[in-house]
């Protein structure tokens, strides 16, 4: 079965959809016989560049075209050969597959020198011309500048900025634009009539919107729907092929964001995910809806918004626009565009959208302090709403000395704030544990450690308790080796367990470097014969070796 876009490719200028400025100019040039020798058709995909090139080739080589008309006859041998892509004098070259200078020389330069076989002119249609290499463009430059009298060049591209200026300056340029949604819908309606298919207007609107101004994509989508074999197409049948319309969910989602309701927004996204929605298309529609919201907020009154949305959706759009600031809308669109790029690269598809929700709902919100407790409200799907903010009543202002200057007041307030922050930042130990308690039970602690590790007490004996800062017991060591050893995770866990078993608290240990002598080091500095035999035994056990005489 032939695809619709090929079956209904324009065969006359009047069939060309949405490019009236191109059609009118070329028709006048054909009638007056004032044509350039090289043309450049630039524009987005599916806008009619190749179809226009073929129409121009037909009109130039048509044997029965009237002098006062630009329309080809479509009945002569030349027109029929071009329609069937069999003409020897109209050569279509895909520059993406023939990028090198050798391809240009063999397929274009050498062939251009030969006279046409049957037609009036030899015409080269070079599609995706921007794909040619720099050397290929240089080889093409001379033949385009001074072609034989019977040769015409038609270059087509979606990226004209990649074409060298030397080529651009030798071509007559025509810029194609995206096809209006109304014209796409009208074209699709004609195709359905010729195919004897009854189709709902809403389906055609969805196809036109989905195509994003590309007529070829719209015809392909329609072809997929017609392939279902139904003589009457409703939204139900079309939904099997077309991505589902998400406008209702999108406006609900936007309303949650406008109200800064992060919890319900996350729940909605996860519900849509479970329903099997395509999140990439949802994000595209979401960006479009946010843009419509911004344009409505700016009072642009653009007509295409009314064409794409229903009356109920337009009312919802106006209601949301009145509740949100333009600055937040700009932030919202920027966040959506940034997170959209991560949708295809994460194993959790909804995660980028959830991140966007957090960025939008909590942008400019006050920082959360450590004292705020979170009590998420559980739901059937185990998703939580954001916690309610606790309102703390302000204390009555204390009476101040009337003679006190404003500067002094500010200084006192700042000092009080700093002291309050410092006081809150200190994590105090249990009331029954003091530094004196630690020193009293130090020997008991060393014996307790020995139950877990025989050599660890020796390391601890090389240091002594320095101070107790909050819940952190700092032990000073003269040598960095012992300090680093006690700070190793495995050693630290054993020591902390033994310490808390003895003291009944929840303290942590931190080894610090202190080059000043302590009692333990002085004991090691004594001659070996006077040193504690137990200490020497621990040294041998920890580091190996034997006692020398």
Q: Check residue 1 and give its pLDDT.
A: 58
Q: Residue 136: how many CB atoms within 10 A of its CB?
A: 21
428 located within any domain: no
The whole-angstrom separation of Cα 136 and Cα 157 is 16
376 located within any domain: no
* The two three-digit tokens of residue 65, written as one number: 């075209």
Look up the domain containing 489 and give its range: 435-543
81 located within any domain: yes
Same domain flag for 212 and 132: no
Same domain flag for 16 and 56: yes
Same domain flag for 127 and 263: no
- Domain final residue, candidates 361, 392, 419: 361
313 located within any domain: yes
387 located within any domain: no
Same domain flag for 34 and 164: yes
* The two three-digit tokens of residue 378, written as one number: 């559980």
Same domain flag for 133 and 21: yes
Q: Check residue 544 and give its pLDDT.
A: 53
Residue 527 scores a pLDDT above 50: no
Residue 534 burial (C-beta neighbours within 10 Å; 0-12, 13-18, 19+): exposed
429 Cβ neighbours under 8 A, 6+ residues apart: 468, 470, 471, 505, 506, 507
Confidence of residue 545 (pLDDT cuts 50, 70, 90): low
Q: What kind and span of H or E run contains 472?
A: strand 472-477
Which residues are bridge partners to 286 per DSSP?
A: none
Residue 525 scores a pLDDT above 60: no
In this structure, what is the dihedral angle of CA atoms 339, 345, 349, 351, given to the nearest 10 degrees? Answer: -50
Same domain flag for 230 and 252: no
Residue 370 scores a pLDDT above 90: no
pTM, 2 dp: 0.57
Ranges 108-112, 270-274, 325-329, 526-530: which has the least confidence: 526-530
Write out pLDDT tens, residues 295-330.
Answer: 888 876 666 666 666 667 778 888 888 888 877 788
∠146-154-213 over CA atoms, to 5°? 150
Write out pLDDT tens, residues 58-108.
Answer: 999 999 898 888 999 989 999 999 999 899 999 999 988 888 888 888 888
Average pLDDT over residues 131-154: 91
Q: Residue 345: how many CB atoms within 10 A of its CB?
A: 7
Write out pLDDT tens, residues 21-30.
Answer: 999 999 999 9
Q: What kind and span of H or E run contains 152?
A: strand 151-157
* CATH code: domain of residue 465: 3.30.300.180
Q: Check residue 402 and give its pLDDT.
A: 46
Same domain flag for 84 and 225: no
Same domain flag for 226 and 255: no
423 Cβ neighbours under 8 A, 6+ residues apart: none
Same domain flag for 332 and 314: yes
The whole-angstrom separation of Cα 255 and Cα 253 is 5
Same domain flag for 208 and 138: no
At residue 513, what are phi and psi to the nearest 5 degrees? Answer: -90, 125
The whole-angstrom separation of Cα 298 and Cα 292 is 10
405 located within any domain: no
Which of 70-74, 338-342, 516-520, 528-532: highest mean pLDDT? 70-74
């Amino acid at each position: 079965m032939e695809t619709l876009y090929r079956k209904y490719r324009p065969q006359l200028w009047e069939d060309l959809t949405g490019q009236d400025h191109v059609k009118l100019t070329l028709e006048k040039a054909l009638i007056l016989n004032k044509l350039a020798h090289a043309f450049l058709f630039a524009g987005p995909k599916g806008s009619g560049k190749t179809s226009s090139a073929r129409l121009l080739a037909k009109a130039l080589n048509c044997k029965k075209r009237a002098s006062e008309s630009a329309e080809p006859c479509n009945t002569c041998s030349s027109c029929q050969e071009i329609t069937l892509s069999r003409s020897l004098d109209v050569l279509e070259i895909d520059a993406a597959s023939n990028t090198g200078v050798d391809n240009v020389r063999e397929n274009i330069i050498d062939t251009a020198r030969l006279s046409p076989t049957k037609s009036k002119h030899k015409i080269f249609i070079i599609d995706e011309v921007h794909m040619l290499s720099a050397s290929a463009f240089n080889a093409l430059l001379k033949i385009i500048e001074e072609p034989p009298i019977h040769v015409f060049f038609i270059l087509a591209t979606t990226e004209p900025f990649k074409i060298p200026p030397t080529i651009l300056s030798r071509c007559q340029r025509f810029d194609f634009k995206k096809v209006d949604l109304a014209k796409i819908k009208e074209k699709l309606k004609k195709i359905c009539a010729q195919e004897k298919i009854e189709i709902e207007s809403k389906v055609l609107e969805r196809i036109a919107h989905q195509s994003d101004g590309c007529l070829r994509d719209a015809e392909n989508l329609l072809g997929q729907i017609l392939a279902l074999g139904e003589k009457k197409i409703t939204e139900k049948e079309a939904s099997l092929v077309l991505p589902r319309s998400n406008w209702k969910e999108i406006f609900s989602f936007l309303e949650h964001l406008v109200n800064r309701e992060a919890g319900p927004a996350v729940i909605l996204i996860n519900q849509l995910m479970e329903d099997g929605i395509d999140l990439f298309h949802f994000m595209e529609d979401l960006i479009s809806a946010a843009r419509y919201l911004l344009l409505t907020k700016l009072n642009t009154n653009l007509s295409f918004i009314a064409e794409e949305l229903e009356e109920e959706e337009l009312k919802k759009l106006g209601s949301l626009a009145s509740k949100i600031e333009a600055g937040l809308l700009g932030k919202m669109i920027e966040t959506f565009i940034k997170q959209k790029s991560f949708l295809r690269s994460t194993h959790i598809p909804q995660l980028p959208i959830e991140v966007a929700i957090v960025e939008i709902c909590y942008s400019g919100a006050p920082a959360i302090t450590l004292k705020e407790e979170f009590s998420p409200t559980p739901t059937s799907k185990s998703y939580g709403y954001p916690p309610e903010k606790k309102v703390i009543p302000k204390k009555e202002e204390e009476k101040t000395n009337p003679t006190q200057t404003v500067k002094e007041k500010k200084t006192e307030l700042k000092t009080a704030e700093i002291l309050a922050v410092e006081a809150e930042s200190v994590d105090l130990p249990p009331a029954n544990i003091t530094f004196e308690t630690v020193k009293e039970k130090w020997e008991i602690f060393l014996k307790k450690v020995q139950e877990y590790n025989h050599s660890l007490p020796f390391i601890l004996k090389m240091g002594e308790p320095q101070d107790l800062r909050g819940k952190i017991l700092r032990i000073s060591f003269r040598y960095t080796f012992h300090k680093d050893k006690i700070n190793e995770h495995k050693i630290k866990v054993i020591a902390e367990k033994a310490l808390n078993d003895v003291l009944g608290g929840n303290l942590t240990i931190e080894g610090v470097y202190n080059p000043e002598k302590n009692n333990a080091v002085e004991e090691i500095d004594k001659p070996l014969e006077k040193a504690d035999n137990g200490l020497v035994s621990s040294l041998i056990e920890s580091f190996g070796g034997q006692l020398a005489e």
